[in-house]
Structures are given as structure tokens and as C-alpha cells.
Structure 1
Amino acid sequence: MFSKTIGPGNGKCRQAELQVRRRPASAVVRQTPWSQIRLRDEFRCALFPFPIFRKYTMVLSDRDAQRLLGDALQSIDEYYEQRGIFQGKFGFGERPAIVVVDFAYGWTDSSYAGGSDRLDLPVEKTAELLAAGRQRGLPIIYTTSPYRPETGDQPFKSAADRSTTFRAWDARACEIDQRVAPEPSDLLIYKENASAFFGTHLAPYLIEQKVDTLLITGCSTSACIRATATDAKGNRFRPVVVSDCVGDRSAVCHVFTLHDIQSRFADVVSLDQALQQLSDRD
């Protein structure tokens, strides 16, 4: 067992003892079950103890991440509630649309360096939402990145970063996953930035379609979903993130970002809640 102080080094945080059974250096992180990692004392003194958990955060489930962050997120909720801030809801308007952000193979296929199997379930759930949306004639928009072969015009810090141990970034990486394939009537937008709005014609298109509510699905929760929700609010649409239909490579980033989005930038609802809202408008 070893101890390490987490949080600011101001002496106010108590020590958190992380008990981990010693394993050979060659052991795979995935073999260390969550039950062997226990935090003692107040977790609230540090929202993100990444220096301690950096070996484990990429293999946690969403439920594990919720347990890890639970006390900290609860303390944030209590703080907001005591002050009466961030308590409102956007709600559903009269005319919703669905945006599917970056569910392309470069993100959903783990043979690519930026791909993750953690997106399998959100992709499946998004297919359910799309079926309901098409049945009701909702506008459906997809986004992905434009494919560029090796040129000098490559984006910085993108999922296309090169790795010799994974499949090379290619045209397929930017193709929408066939499990949620677009139909001819859907709009496909190639975007250069995290937000589906920034530098694209998404906002004018939604206005033309008389849309007031945007159901947001796709990846990654902590990047493009957050940016899209923030810009949807900024463009005066009602942003609704469907939690079952978004995902991230990191469960910790996913859980925290959904909580923060819910507090300040959008409503966060389950797939069942979204489907019920659509059904209520039939």
C-alpha cells in the first residue's frame, strides 16, 4: 500500500490512500479489477486525481467512473442547489432535429489509433433514435472530418494522429459507420473543428428547417459533443444531449462532462426519455 496527497498542495486536503495489489511490470492494466482500488477519506478535495489513476482511467466502465467521481459530483450539485444556480431546463420545443457527431470509423473502429470499442453501445442506441426520428420525418444531420491524404494541411491534435501500431488513417476513417448510415435525405457536414456549428452551415440549415430543439448524439462526449452543445445554446437552439447515444474513449471524461453539460449548457436525457418526448408529440 502507498499513500499520495491529491489536490492542491496547501495542506488542506487529507491524504487519500490508494491500495493496489503489487503486480509484475508486465501485467496488463485491464487485469486489475476495480475492487482492488479503494479511496479513503474525502474525495471532494480533488475532482480529478489523474496522476494517481492515469493507469486505470482508460479501462474503467461508466459505472466505475460514476463511483469514482460520485462524491465530487454530488458536492457540485449541492453547491449549485444551495445558491439556486444552474437549476433550469431547456426542455423540448416544437420541432426537434437529430445530429450525429463523428460516428465515423476513425472513432468507432478500434483498429484506428483514435477508435474505441466503448462507442459500440452508443452507436447501437443512436440507431434506435434515428429510426424513431425518421419515422417522424425529423431533420437528421451527420458530421465527420474531411479526409486529407498526406499534405501540409493536417489538423493538430486530432484522431488522425499517426501511430505505426494501428491502421493508417485513410478515407474509410472519415466514412460514417454503417450501423448508423445516412440516408439520401440526410445532411452530411464535413467539419474542421470540434463543434458541429463552427465554420459550417448547420445553424442556417436548422433555421431553414424551423428547428428549435437539437438532439445531440455521437462522440466524443468531452470534446465534440460538449462543443456542439455549447454552440447550440449560443445559437439559441434547445440543446438536448441523449446520454445513451454519446460516448468517449475515457469513462471518467464521459461521466464528468455529461454532469457539467447538464449543469450549464444543455439538458441531458436518456434514450427512453428522448423517445417518450418524441412519442408525446405524435
Structure 2
Amino acid sequence: MKRALVVIDVQNEYFTGALPIAFPPRQESLANIVAATEVARAHGVPVVVVRHTAPAESPLFAGGSPSWELREEIGREPYDHLVDKTLASAFAGTDLAEWLAAKEIDTLAVAGYMTQNCDESTARDAAHLGLTVEFLSDATGTVPLSNSAGTATAEEVHNHVLVVMASNFASVVTTAEWIDAVKAGEPLARPNIWASTEIARATS
């Protein structure tokens, strides 16, 4: 097993811009992201930083704007690879898959923002590429949503994604649990859709 940690879109847009993270509280999730990166560096786990870039006229993540910049807590520390993306998944139109393959990475831990968008898209793509995926539940976060399909609080969006991820795509754990696994050099329990559907089977 060889891990890497991907830190997705920890940019000012989610703190002082138009998309303030609501759940988990952004300062708590940021502290967990920083803790995960510190432990990763200390234990030889490569850290990949991902930055979303939109056209200059975009209301969100406009390239070169203050909201596009990485949060200082992430940008000031060393990382092993920087990925600039324009779509949700960190794999779409980037060199991430090739970089991970060259480093013989087989396990990818996901942290950053937003839970249901770039985090989930990246995790699904990683799983479909054959990587083992780890999803840090309290080092990710999102915003409330309301559209023609309905309304959900940030907590509802976040928790629903965690349940789906844990059913088939990723090992969903807290940052503390992930740190313990990194320090021990041990894998996490894999997702199990059969186990996740046990209640439904029992009541059918």
C-alpha cells in the first residue's frame, strides 16, 4: 500500500468569497485538513494540492483573483504536486492519474471542498481507476443547496454523500482515524455495499 493525500480546492472562495463552507464548520474542517497534511509530510505520504480555476469573468474562482488563491494555511506549506483543474474531478483534464501512477500510488485520501462536488467526483474517478479511496469526513465540507429538485441543508448534503461513499466507493473515516492508520502504516476497512444494504434486506 502506498498512500497519497489530495487536498482539493482549499481556496479563499470557501472562506471569504461567495461560497462559505457551512458544514462541518469551515474553521474545524480547515484545522483537520492542516493536521492531515502535517502528518502526511511527517510520514512520507505525498501531498497533492488541487486548485480550481475559472475564467477571469467568472463570479467564482476567477483565475488570479483573491478568492482563487489557496488558503494561506495550505499555500504556505510545501506540497509534492499542484494540480490546476477546471472541472469538478481532480482527474478531469489534468495529469493527476499519470502523476499518481508514476509514483506507484495505489491509495488516495481525499480532503478539501466541496463534499458533494469536487470531493465526490474525485473519489468516484479514483475508485473507477482502481485506486483505493479514503474520504476524510471532517476534513471535507459543503454548503446548503436549493434548486428545482429540492432543498437540503449543508449537513444533510454532507452526511448523505458520506453514506453513499462508504457504501461502495471509499473508506470514510475521521481525520484522527486516518492519522492513526497513517502512523501505523495500515490500510482502512474497505467499503462494503452488501453490508450497507443489510437493513434494507432485513426489512424487505
TM-score band, normalised by shorter chain = 0.7 to 0.9
Q: Which runs of 5+ in 1 are unaligned?
A: 1-93, 162-167
Aligned to 2:118: 224
- Alignment pair present for 1:104 and 2:11: yes
Conserved? CA contact 1:147–1:170, under 8 Å: no
Distance in 2 (CA, whole Å) between partners of 1:169 and 1:202 is 20
Q: Give the partner amino acid of 2:18.
A: A
Alignment of 1:135-214 (within 5 A): 135-150=42-57, 160=60, 171-181=65-75, 183-214=77-108
1:116 is aligned, of 21, 27, 32, to 21
Aligned length: 174
Distance in 2 (CA, whole Å) between partners of 1:185 and 1:272 is 21
Alignment of 1:25-104 (within 5 A): 94-104=1-11
Aligned to 1:36: none
TM-score by length of 1: 0.58
Larger Rg: 1
* 1:245 shift after superposition: 0.6
Distance in 2 (CA, whole Å) between partners of 1:198 and 1:142 is 15
- Alignment pair present for 1:272 and 2:166: no
What SS does the aligned partner of 1:195 have? coil
Q: Which runs of 5+ in 2 are unaligned?
A: 144-153, 187-204
Distance in 1 (CA, whole Å) between partners of 2:98 and 2:77 is 21
Q: Percent identity?
A: 26
Aligned to 2:192: none
Question: What per-residue deviation string (whole Å, max 9, x for no partner) do you get for residues 185-223 of structure 1?
Answer: 421111011111111110110011111110100011011
Aligned to 1:260: 164
Structure 1 runs (4+) greater than 3 angstroms displaced: 182-185
TM-score by length of 2: 0.79
Give the structure with the higher percent strand.
2
Q: Give the partner amino acid of 2:185.
A: R
What SS does the aligned partner of 1:99 have? strand
Q: CA RMSD in A?
A: 2.1
